[in-house]
């Protein structure tokens, strides 16, 4: 879909879904569109919650992944399936390529209130910038990607 000079690439909402409940997209300006065309307009959808495009920028390949994770009240099997598809998508990225993941993981991750930031382990994701608690989605996110 094109609006003005912007191209919108999206993974559509299935007909059975509640409108606005699922779907992800990436909006590209003209420079991004050229970088996307330079990769053969690579686009990969994994359901209605994951979308990946590739951009060639300064001879580097950049993978942009748009995510919209299931909400907290979704069944565990659906959440597991989402993370399985995301891991499969990430596993298909070549080690020479870069990855940017953008979107909403619907996760709450507790902050680490240490007064000595130099003591934080590399596996700490949020540091002092999180919330007062971690929800189920936050536990799932840090379990999968927290190191």
Q: Is the pLDDT of residue 146 over 90?
A: no
The reply to whether 29 and 86 lie within a common domain is: yes
Best CA proximity match to 104, nearest among 63, 72, 126: 72
pTM score over 0.85:
no
Count of domains observed in the chain: 2
The reply to whether 12 and 40 lie within a common domain is: yes
The reply to whether 14 and 79 lie within a common domain is: yes
The region of weakest confidence among 7-21, 71-85, 112-126, 127-141 is: 112-126
Residue 128 belongs to what domain range?
107-147
Per-residue model confidence (pLDDT) at position 22: 77
* Separation of first and last alpha carbons in the chain: 38
The reply to whether 32 and 50 lie within a common domain is: yes
Q: What sign for the dihedral angle of Cα 66, 94, 6, 10?
A: negative
The reply to whether 78 and 113 lie within a common domain is: no
Q: Where are the beta strands (DSSP E) in 31-82?
A: 43-45, 50-57, 60-68
Per-residue model confidence (pLDDT) at position 136: 79
| 72-95 per-position pLDDT tens digit | 888 999 999 999 999 999 999 999
| 8-39 per-position pLDDT tens digit | 898 876 666 666 667 899 999 999 999 999 99
């Amino acid at each position: 879909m094109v609006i003005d000079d912007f191209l919108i690439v999206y993974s559509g909402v299935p007909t059975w879904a509640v409108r606005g409940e699922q779907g992800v997209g990436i909006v590209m300006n003209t420079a991004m569109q050229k970088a996307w065309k330079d990769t053969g307009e690579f686009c990969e959808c994994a359901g209605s919650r994951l979308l990946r495009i590739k951009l060639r920028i300064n001879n580097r390949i950049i993978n942009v992944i748009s995510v919209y994770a299931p909400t907290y009240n979704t069944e565990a099997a659906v959440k597991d399936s989402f993370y399985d598809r995301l891991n499969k998508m990430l596993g298909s990225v070549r080690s020479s390529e870069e990855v940017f993941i953008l979107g909403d993981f619907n996760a709450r991750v507790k902050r680490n209130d240490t007064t000595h930031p130099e003591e934080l382990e590399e596996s700490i994701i949020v540091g002092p910038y999180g919330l007062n608690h971690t929800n189920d989605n936050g536990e799932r996110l840090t379990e999968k990607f927290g190191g």
